[in-house]
Structure 1
């Protein structure tokens, strides 16, 4: 059976798919696809490729205060539930998780519909992914998200004892910076990404004025924030 992934190879065998399903969730989607290539897998994993992608970062606002206010086991269950909801939404919009960043994550979207898919996903994540958890008299702080589109290098980083398949580059760095600029339940996107959106989705984002406290991002670069419904 031909691989359904973007690499489109014929699997050398079905050993991995048939016997290692329990292990699959520990691997990103590109790695799972490439492993089924059999003897070619090692070469494919170590061969960097350039790609035009959308990068999404999310995190929970006020997480440091939350971690001081509730028990560690409750904190872990809360973050686990939040991350799980985000993953399901991301996969629904044809994205995949590249890595986890403590109380948040980094996800990648590829393909012709990636701009709209990434923005629809982010808008849903910040409004629906947070579990209904309270500590004391304060509700759990909401999620913020940042999105950017551009070129990345995708491939394997590490050494013989530990490796990971990931994306790196300025696009990733900018997406992370935009996330830091997002308030709770905000999605902040770059001008380049907004220019690739259909009109329906683009209308859901308003320009951020340069006089609104943009201390942590280059003020000459236009960015857009999701409109509150």
Structure 2
């Protein structure tokens, strides 16, 4: 190589290194605002068109949050919620799920999308049990939570418009998970799951039935289940 060729090689190498650094900076910044698994998927695949997938959904919500917010200063409310999310989000991620969205004082987590997982129901159940134990221990007496779990078919993909997109899941299975979480207030259980999720777990957990539970917006009554822990 002569000096000019070496210079071109060096310049090309420098551009490659800078490109890798820039990609990593984007990955780090993106991961702060978007779940890292979703961020990785978007960076690798360039987005995700809508497709039907089988998943397990988890709704988590704080019980009597309105009362808690009225009693405590605003800064304390936000700080306590963030402490809960700092427990919940890593647990969800460690068990293969991702947070689809934060909804006020709660969140929706998805197991089985964007990356498929055959054991999505098992992942969700393990996450829920660990999450409850840790929140009870680390936030004892500050507030209680309810968790609703449901499995089914959803449409998963990049949703939005006008230059703003987010990965999300839509479908009746999502609504049912939210209704199941709301039912924890009636039954007094911390975790409730649907018949569909129970069937996927195939007897790996001792579950107690909760019969004749009304789910808002649904006809008839449902049988739900809570882990015997």
TM-score class, shorter: 0.7 to 0.9
How many aligned residue pairs are there? Answer: 203
After TM superposition, give the deviation of residue 222 of structure 1 in Å.
2.0
After TM superposition, give the deviation of residue 199 of structure 1 in Å.
2.1
Partner Cα distance (1:117, 1:187) in 2 = 14
Native 8 Å contact 1:127 1:185 kept in 2 = no
* Pair 1:149–1:16, CA change in 2 (3 A): farther
Partner Cα distance (1:179, 1:171) in 2 = 13
* Pair 1:50–1:30, CA change in 2 (3 A): farther
1:51 corresponds, among 50, 53, 60, to: 53
Name the residue aligned to 1:83.
Answer: 85
2:39 corresponds, among 29, 32, 36, to: 32
After TM superposition, give the deviation of residue 113 of structure 1 in Å.
1.6
Partner Cα distance (2:195, 2:84) in 1 = 28
Name the residue aligned to 1:8.
Answer: none
After TM superposition, give the deviation of residue 84 of structure 1 in Å.
1.1
After TM superposition, give the deviation of residue 225 of structure 1 in Å.
2.2
Structure 1: state its 5+ residue gaps.
Answer: 1-12
TM-score normalised by structure 2 residue count: 0.80
Cα RMSD (Å) of the superposition? Answer: 2.2
TM-score normalised by structure 1 residue count: 0.80
* Pair 1:15–1:166, CA change in 2 (3 A): farther
Q: 1:199 is paired with a residue of what secondary structure?
A: coil
User: Per-residue displacement from partner, 1:122-155 (whole Å, max 9, x unpaired)?
Assistant: 1222232257558xxxx32211000000110011
1:126 corresponds, among 128, 132, 136, to: 132
